[in-house]
Amino acid sequence: MPSPSDSFDFASWPPTLSNGQLEALTLYATTYALSHGLLYLAPAQRQPTIPSAAIHAPISLFPSPVPRALFDNGRRLQRIYNVLYARIAMDDEFLDEVMGAEKGVGKVDKFIGELWRGWKRLRDEGLPQPLHLGLFRSDYLLHSLPDKPLSIKQVEFNTISVSFGCLSQKVAELHRYLLSQTKYYYSSPYLSPSNFPSNETTPGLASGLAEAHKAYGDERSQILFVVQPGERNVFDQRPLEYELLERYGIHSIRNTFEELGNIAHVDPSTSALIITRSLDGSPSERIEISTVYYRSGYVPHEYPTPKHYTTRFLIESSKAIKCPTISLQLAGGKKVQEVLGRPGVLERFLADEAKYGKDVYGPEVISELRDSFMDMWSLDVNEDRVTPDRPSSESGNEEFGTRLAREGALGLVLKPQREGGGNNVYKESIPTFLDTLDPEERQAWIAMELIQPPKDFGNYLIRAGSTNSQSQTPVKTEVVSELGIFGWALFGGPEKSISEKEVGWLVRTKGKDSNEGGVATGFSVLDSLLLVD
C-alpha cells in the first residue's frame, strides 16, 4: 500500500473492501443521508404541494482524490473569475458584440435573442438598479496527458441557478461521518481527517444573498426565489432560506414564473418589485422584494409563452437586485467562454490600467487563468483565425471552424448556449450533427477540445428511487469527477465596484462512459474531495 507522501496513483482508487464492509458502509451512508437532508423529492409526474416522500440523493461511497495544489489553484482562480465575469456583465458593448441579436449569437439563437432584446430595451429606457449579484460556480476536470503534469481545465463557468451548494456541503459531511464512524476499515492511508477539507458552501452562498439584501437597504423587504414548477431539488434550496432567516433575520418567498405573472408588479413611483399574495382567503399581503434569486429561467422551455418573457422583463425593470441580471446571464454563455480564449480579451478585462486603475492583474495571473482554458473555437470561424498550432485545412464550402470540427471530431465536444445538462454533442456524433446545421445556425455553437481525465480511476456509486432491491447496492465503476468552485460577487454602481468571495466547492462524479455530467438530469452522483499530494 502506498504511503501518503508518494505521488497518487488514480488507478488504485477506490480501496478494496469486502462485501460485508461495503454493505455496512452503504447502510451508514444512506441512513445518514436520509437523516441529514441529503435528499431529493421522489420522482413523480406532478409533485404534490405538500411533499409526501423523499429519497436520498445519488452519492458516492468514497470521496474522490484531487491533488491539494490543484484544489488550491481552483480556489485562487475563483477570486479572479469573480472579477472577470463581473466586469464582463458591466461591459454592454462587449455583450452586444458577442451575444446580441444584431451582431452576435442572438441573431441565430432565438432564446438568447429574446433575452438580449428585452435587456436592450430596458437599458435604453433606464434601469433603476445599478447593482448586480452573481452566485457563481466554475467547473473543472483533471487533465492528464502523457509526460505532462496533471492540471485542472475549466469545463464551464455558471452564472445562473448554480446548484448543489447546499447538498455539496452535506455530502462532504457524510464522508467525514463515514471516516469517523468506520475509518473506512483502514483501507487507505489517504483516508485521514487532514485530507478531508471543510466545505461551508451554504453559509457562503447565503452571505452573498445577505449582502445584496443589505445593499438594497430595506430590512422589511424579502428575498424572492424564482423556482421551477415541480422542483425535485428543493433540499438544495431550502437550507439557503433557513440560513438567511436564522443568521440574518431575512425572510424569503418562493414562486414560479407562472405565479409571478399574476402576483408581481413594479411600483410606478418607486420601481420597487411588489409581490401581492393572499393565504387561505386572508387579506392580501404586500411584499417588497430586495433580491431576486433565480433557480430557474436558464433554458427556453421555461418561457413557454410570451407572458413568461414579459414577467422576466418586469422583474428586470424593478429596483430589486437580480441574481443574475440578464446581462450577467448572457455573460455566462459558452460563446463568451470561447471569446475569452482569444488573444487580448482577458487583458481587456483584467489588465487595462486606464479603465480599472490599480485593480488590475499582471501577466503571470492572466497566464495562470489562461492555462485553465481548453482550446475552443466557433464553428463559423474563418481562415484568419488560423494559428501556428492549428494549420489551415483544404479549401471547401464550409467555414474553417466547421471543417476543423469534422476532422477532429473524436477529440471534441460541441456546445450550444444552454445550461442544465443534456445539450452537448460529442465525438463520433459530431459529423452527422454538423450536417443538420445551416451556416447561420453554426454561429450559436462552439467546439471545445475534450479534457482527458485520469484513466482507470473508480468509485462506488449509490442511487435511490427504484423499487428494485438492487438499487441500494453500490456499483463499482470507472468514473470521471468534476470539481466545482463556488463564489459570489456584488458589483456595479457609479464606481463599478466589486465585492466578491470564494465560498466553497462541489464534486460530481459520473461513469466514464457518460458524456454529460448533471446530477439533476440523472447523469452524475454527488461526491466530495479527498486531498492528495
**Lowest mean pLDDT across 34-43, 247-256, 323-332:** 34-43
Domains of the chain: 10-374+451-532 (no CATH), 375-450 (3.30.1490.50)
> Given a cut of 80, is residue 520 above it in pLDDT?
no
Q: Which member of 420, 458, 484, 504 is catalytic?
A: 420
- The response to whether 481 counts as a known ligand-binding position is no
**pLDDT for the residue 200:** 97
- The response to whether 446 counts as a known ligand-binding position is no
Q: Where are the alpha helices (DSSP H) in 296-362?
A: 306-316, 326-331, 334-340, 345-350, 353-356
Angle at 48 between CA 42 and CA 54, to 5 degrees: 25
**Cβ pair 381, 445 in contact under 8 A:** no
3-state helix, strand, coil in the chain (%, to 5): 40, 25, 40
> Given a cut of 90, is residue 63 above it in pLDDT?
yes
Tell me if residue 355 is catalytic.
no
* Beta strand pairing call for 321-323 and 285-294: parallel
Tell me if residue 441 is catalytic.
no
Handedness of CA 205, 290, 308, 238 (dihedral sign): positive
CA dist., res. 212 & res. 132, Å (int): 8
Q: Which member of 163, 481, 524, 528 is catalytic?
A: 163
Q: Give, in order, the Cα–Cα distances in Å from 6 to each of 68, 147, 193, 194, 460.
A: 13, 18, 18, 16, 24
**pLDDT for the residue 395:** 37
Q: What percent of the chain has pLDDT over 70?
A: 92
Tell me if residue 125 is catalytic.
no
Tell me if residue 200 is catalytic.
no
Cα 199 to chain centroid distance, Å, stands at 17
CA dist., res. 490 & res. 215, Å (int): 9
> Given a cut of 60, is residue 470 above it in pLDDT?
no
Tell me if residue 211 is catalytic.
no
Provide the 3-class DSSP secondary structure of residue 158. strand
Give φ, ψ of 382 to 5 degrees: -105, 180
C-alpha cell belonging to residue 55: 429519497
pLDDT band of residue 513 (cuts 50, 70, 90) is confident
- The response to whether 418 counts as a known ligand-binding position is yes
Q: Which member of 153, 415, 442, 501 is catalytic?
A: 415
Tell me if residue 156 is catalytic.
yes
- The response to whether 232 counts as a known ligand-binding position is yes
Q: Which member of 322, 334, 403, 501 is catalytic?
A: 334
- The response to whether 160 counts as a known ligand-binding position is yes
Q: Which member of 64, 138, 158, 524 is catalytic?
A: 158
Q: Which member of 64, 113, 120, 137 is catalytic?
A: 137
> Given a cut of 90, is residue 125 above it in pLDDT?
yes
- The response to whether 142 counts as a known ligand-binding position is no
The pTM score is 0.93
- The response to whether 520 counts as a known ligand-binding position is yes
pLDDT band of residue 236 (cuts 50, 70, 90) is very high
What average pLDDT does range 284-290 have in this prediction? Answer: 95
Provide the 3-class DSSP secondary structure of residue 293. strand
- The response to whether 510 counts as a known ligand-binding position is yes
Tell me if residue 401 is catalytic.
no
What average pLDDT does range 404-431 have in this prediction? Answer: 90
What angle separates helix 201-216 from helix 165-182, to the nearest 10 degrees?
150
Q: What percent of the chain has pLDDT over 90?
A: 82
**Cβ pair 515, 413 in contact under 8 A:** yes
E strands, 159-263, in order: 222-226, 252-255
